[in-house]
Structure 1
């Protein structure tokens, strides 16, 4: 019985040593993978990397990792001289195969996602405009709501209002629903579906030029092309899939 207890104690101790060694190894690998992903994907900052699955060492011996989760910061969008943050930029690298020399790896599939809040969309909107949730029915059609005082919108666009017409503009609020679309995986385009009739002759087109704008996203992983867009209560959510993503640095 004493011998059995000794064997059990040794098994627990050795198991603890193995787990500790496994965690040390995975931490080192995560740091190395972060550097590889930064260089191979052309990122501006070093991402946070989490290698899933246990034990890690047996996955390495088999030269195949089930999943690597990547969180990326420092991604921004710009429109009209305004810069905003793109948040929750993530990538799930699946079925990652390591080459024979352990110098690089390739993920069979990469699922990417990102989000821009309505607050940040408003920061990139024309001066005086606010972008908000359009409600479930319109959001399902990829629409957002854009509102703002007409005089502030025109002033922000550098459009002078004749003195005789100032009374027609003062206190008037413009409200429209804009269709949001994604172009080339990096440009968010807002285009008003309809615009209210203005009491200012010839100003309708000027308003159209004002409320329709593009937001360019910079710094996304080069191999993940965002191609799906969803308008949620929290903001715009983007997603996309990459295949055969190289992690060679």
Structure 2
């Protein structure tokens, strides 16, 4: 009986040591992966990296990580040098093939999301006068539309206190287009915009986190807090 008890205690201690070693190893790997993502230019700041699944060491030996999660707040995306913040970024990487020293990593498939505020979204669009066919505006040639949530699939636009109208937002690849904007009667009356045609406005995001791209379907979705970007990727070269 005592021999059985000692063996049981010994196995429990050994199991605890193995679990502890596994958790230490995964923590080291997560920190190293976060550093490599920044150094490689895939992320504009150090993210939080979580390697899911237990045990980690068996995944490390096979050089295949089943599920890796990345998150960060305050990353940036760009359009022709214009840089804006990407908030609440989260990504799930499925099937990550890694090298021994984490010098290279390829992801089978990945999904993610993040949010651009409407104030920042307005900075990615051309000046309001350009959208309104060169119309002289009270705020000057460089004044921009103020954008806000307009309901499912829509954003509202205004020039100062004057409502301009609503627009839809959609994407094709990494190019985001704001169109369908119709001038309200108030805008025509008070801002002198009668008979002005509102041109569609588009911008292309040329710097995406973790090698992702905008999802082909519903890549952009207006939300009360801002424009949500949905990401996807197949056979993404994450490192190396």
Output the TM-score relative to the length of structure 1.
Answer: 0.71
Residue 203 (1) aligns with residue 193 (2): yes
Aligned residues: 219
Residue 238 (structure 1) aligns with: 229
Match of 1:176 among 162, 165, 172: 165
Q: For structure 1, which runs of at least 5 residues remain unmatched after alignment?
A: 151-172
Contact 1:112 1:226 in 2 (8 A): no
Residue 11 (structure 2) aligns with: 11
Secondary structure of 1:54's counterpart equals coil
* d(CA) in 2 for partners of 1:77, 1:190: 18
* d(CA) in 1 for partners of 2:179, 2:26: 47
Contact 2:42 2:238 in 1 (8 A): no
Contact 2:36 2:239 in 1 (8 A): yes
Match of 2:156 among 138, 142, 145: 145
Contact 1:91 1:111 in 2 (8 A): yes
- 1:90-239 counterparts in 2 under 5 A? 90-99=90-99, 103-118=103-118, 120-121=120-121, 130-135=146-151, 139=152, 142-149=153-160, 173-182=162-171, 184-185=173-174, 187-197=175-185, 198-199=188-189, 203-204=193-194, 208=198, 217=205, 219-221=207-209, 223-227=211-215, 228-239=219-230
* d(CA) in 1 for partners of 2:54, 2:46: 24
Greater helix proportion: 1
* Distance 1:205-1:77 versus aligned 2 partners, 3 A rule: farther
* Distance 1:92-1:78 versus aligned 2 partners, 3 A rule: closer
Which entry has the higher C-alpha Rg, 1 or 2? 1
* Distance 1:94-1:199 versus aligned 2 partners, 3 A rule: same
Q: For structure 2, which runs of at least 5 residues remain unmatched after alignment?
A: 129-142
Contact 1:177 1:194 in 2 (8 A): yes
* d(CA) in 1 for partners of 2:96, 2:171: 29
Secondary structure of 1:27's counterpart equals helix
* d(CA) in 1 for partners of 2:168, 2:47: 32
